Structure 1
Amino acid sequence: MQAEHFARLAAGVFVAVALAVAVLGGAGREEEPASEASVPSSAIPANPLRAEMIRCARIGEAAIHDAACLETWAENRRRFLSANDDWIRDRLPVPPRIKPEAR
């Protein structure tokens, strides 16, 4: 009889603690919906590609079906993976010429 009573008491204490944690943990959080108007204009970069990347990130899963986001991602991949551009070739170090050894 005492074991059954102790088990019920322990379950009641567990539920009370869980409720207290849930109430106190959620009391300080009042999330307001994120909107583009709440973001200061200084936080949005001047680079149009970067600004579009941020917009696509904000719209979430809908960006998968957004044609502008698909084009932006393709352009970003092209810029990232392209090594044929002059601007990158000018910045690459020139490898030293190795003279063949005389035997």
Structure 2
Amino acid sequence: MAARDPRRLLRVVAMAVVGVTLFATGLWILSDDPGAAGGSVVTGQATSDDPVRAGLQRCNDLGSAALDDAGCRAAWAENRRRFFGSSDSRNHPGRTPSPAMPTTQEDR
């Protein structure tokens, strides 16, 4: 009785699982819904109260023309300042500057 061979049954089940997995993956890849992966997608139509964020979105919409746009350069500079922080401690009165690293062996 070849139909009751456990190795053959296991092989058929494994092939079926692989087939269903490939089919589901193909459907997921061809899906028109960009949120099908479970992540959120931010579109250009998102509104923001932050003018820098709105400027960055405008620069993104401009594409490579944004490289020559003065408004985009200002928005990028402000975004860098926000991300990296200001090196001027007067802008952040609550923040104390970190001590300088020792430069000689005796200072260590």
TM-score, with length taken from structure 2: 0.39
Structure with the higher fraction of residues in helix conformation: 1
TM-score, with length taken from structure 1: 0.41
Q: Which has the higher contact order (CA 8 A, sep 6+)?
A: 1
